[in-house]
Amino acid sequence: MPDLVLDYHRLKVPIDHPNLSVTRAKLEYPTVDVSFAYLSAINRVRFVSMYTWGLAVVAGDPFADKSVVAGVQVYDGVNVLGRVQNYQNFYFNKIQPTRATSDHLLAKMSAGTVTTLASESVDLTTAAALLQVSCSGSTVKSLRYALTSPLDPLNPGTATATLSATDTTFASGYYGVRLMKEYNPHGSASIGSTWLRAPASAVPPALAVIEVEFAKGEYPNEEYKPALLSSLVEVSRSLNVPIHLVMEHDKHEMLRRRGFTDDEIRLLLGHLPQRHIDVDAVTWGTFEFSEKSPTNIVVVTGDNPYKQGAIRRQAEYAKKKGLRVFDPPKNYGEAVTLYNKLKSDFPHWLAGKDNFAYMCLGWEELDVLQNVDFYYGELLEHRTHYDQLKRVDPKEVESRLLELKARLERMAVLHEERDKHLRKVGELLRRGW
Q: How far apart are the first and last CA of the chain?
A: 54
Residue type, 304: N
Residue 266: closest CA among 279, 276, 256: 256
Most confident of 84-93, 146-155, 365-374: 365-374
Contact 366, 358 (CB under 8 A): yes
Give CA–CA dist 264/277, Å, rounded.
Answer: 23
Q: Which residues pair with 213 in a beta bridge?
A: 295
Beta bridge partners of 107: 92, 116
Pairing type for strands 208-215 and 295-302 reads antiparallel
pLDDT digits (tens, 9 = 90+) for 371-388: 999 999 999 999 999 999
Cβ atoms of residues 342 and 191 within 8 Å: no
Q: Dihedral through CA 101, CA 104, CA 110, CA 113, nearest 10?
A: 30
Residue 50's pLDDT band (cuts 50, 70, 90): confident
**C-beta of residue 378 within 8 angstroms of C-beta of residue 389:** yes
**pLDDT tens for residues 283-341?**
999 999 999 999 999 999 999 999 999 999 999 999 999 999 999 999 999 999 999 99
Strand ranges in 181-305 using DSSP code E only, listed in sequence order: 189-197, 208-215, 225-226, 232-234, 276-278, 283-287, 295-302
| 200-227 residue pLDDT tens | 988 999 999 999 999 877 666 678 889 9
Measured CA to CA in angstroms, residue 219 lies from 61, 100, 124, 151, 373 at distances of 33, 11, 17, 32, 35
Burial status of residue 90 (CB atoms within 10 A of its CB: 0-12, 13-18, 19 or more): buried
3-state secondary structure of 28: coil
The count of C-alpha atoms lying within 13 angstroms of the C-alpha of 194, restricted to the half-sphere facing its C-beta, is 28
In the chain, domain spans: 21-234+277-431, 243-273
Mean pLDDT of all residues belonging to the chain? 88
Residue 110: phi and psi, rounded to 5, are -130, 115
Beta pairing partners, 86 = 89
**H/E stretch holding 56:** strand 55-59
How far is the C-alpha of 205 from the C-alpha of 329, rounded, in Å?
A: 9
| This prediction's pTM | 0.89
Please give the average per-residue pLDDT across 82-91, as a whole number: 94
User: What whole-number distance in Å separates Cα of residue 400 and Cα of residue 64?
Assistant: 9
Crossing angle (nearest 10°) for helices 415-431 and 364-379: 30
The CATH architecture one would assign to domain 21-234+277-431 is Sandwich (2.60)
Contact 332, 344 (CB under 8 A): no
- pLDDT(277) > 80: yes
For residues 225 and 431, what is the distance between their CA atoms, to the nearest angstrom?
41
Of the candidates 105, 176, 109, the residue with the CA atom closest to the CA atom of residue 144: 105
Q: How confident is the model at residue 186 (pLDDT cuts 50, 70, 90)?
A: very low
What is the predicted pLDDT for the residue at 188?
A: 54
Contact 190, 149 (CB under 8 A): no
* Residue type at 79 in one-letter notation: N
* C-alpha–C-alpha distance, residues 264 and 192, integer Å: 36
**Pairwise CA distance, residues 284 & 298, whole Å:** 6
Q: Count, in order, helices (H) and strands (E) of the chain.
A: 12, 20
Instruction: Give the DSSP H or E segment for 335.
Output: helix 332-343
